[in-house]
Structure 1
Amino acid sequence: MKKHKVELRFCVSGFEDITHAELTNLFGITPVKEYFKGLPINPKLSQGKLATLNRWLICSPNFKVDDDFEMQMNGFIELAKNKTAVFNDICKKYSCEFSCAIFLEAGIEMSTPWIHLGDDYNTYFGKLNVHFDMDLYV
C-alpha cells in the first residue's frame, strides 16, 4: 500500500578543519551521504557537478522507512541528549540544518504528514542556530 513519506536528515556543512570520519566518530553514526569539496557530488559521474562545500548527512538513529516525523525527530533529540557537548561544539562552529523532505503520493486519502517542532526541539536545537529546511514533493 502506498503512503506518504517523510525523510528527516541532519546536515553539517562548511567544515574544513575536521574530517568526515571525525564527525562520524564524534556523533557515533554512519552518514547516509557525504559530499567532499571539489569532488563530484555523484561519484559515478566523474564529469558531474562538483561539491562546493564539505557536507555530512545523517538519518535519525534507528531510522525505519515508515517512521513519521515525530519518531525521526525524537531520535535526533535523544541523540542530542546523549551528545550535548558534540552538538554544542559542532553547531557553533559550522552550518547545521535539518532537511525535511515530504513525499506525497497521489490518490491517497490520508492527510498530509504532520510536522511540528515542539519544546524539546527548541530546547536542544533552537539555541544552536540549527536551521530547518522543508521540501514538499507531490
Structure 2
Amino acid sequence: MKKIHIALLLLAVAGIVGMSFFVKDLTTQETFSTAKEKSGKYVVVKTKLDNSVAIEYDAVKNPNLTVFYAVDAKGQRSKVVYTEAKIKDMERSEGLDLNGYMRDGYFECNKIQAKCPSKYKDDPAQAKKNLASGSANQY
C-alpha cells in the first residue's frame, strides 16, 4: 500500500471515531411518556420547571445533585434528577431542554440547556424604543 492510501484510511477511521462522539447529540425531542417507552436510550425532553415544588439542592451535602420537577409539552410532570450542580437562574428560565435517560419513576439528566427569558418581554415599550434607536444590536 502506498503512503497516501494509508494516510487516507487513517483519516477516514479518525472521522468515523470523531462522529461517534456526536451521536448522542443527534437525538430527537421527546416527551416524558415517549422517553419512558425508550427507557435506557439517550433522549432530549423539552420542559418547563414546575415551580409548585421546591428545587432540592444542598451544596454542602452533595454539590453534584439537583432534584426538581418539570412539565413537558403535553403537561406530564416528572421528577428530574440532575447529576450536576444547580444551574444559575433555573427558576427564571422560560424552558429547559433536559438531556438524559428515563429511569424507573424519574428522568436522570446529565445536561440541561436553559432557555433564557427575553429581556424585553415585560416592557414592550422599551423594546420598541431600543429598536428605534438602534441600540438593540449593540452588545
TM-score w.r.t. the length of structure 2 is 0.24
Greater strand fraction, Structure 1 or Structure 2: 2
* Highest RCO, 1 vs 2 (Cα 8 Å, sep ≥ 6): 1
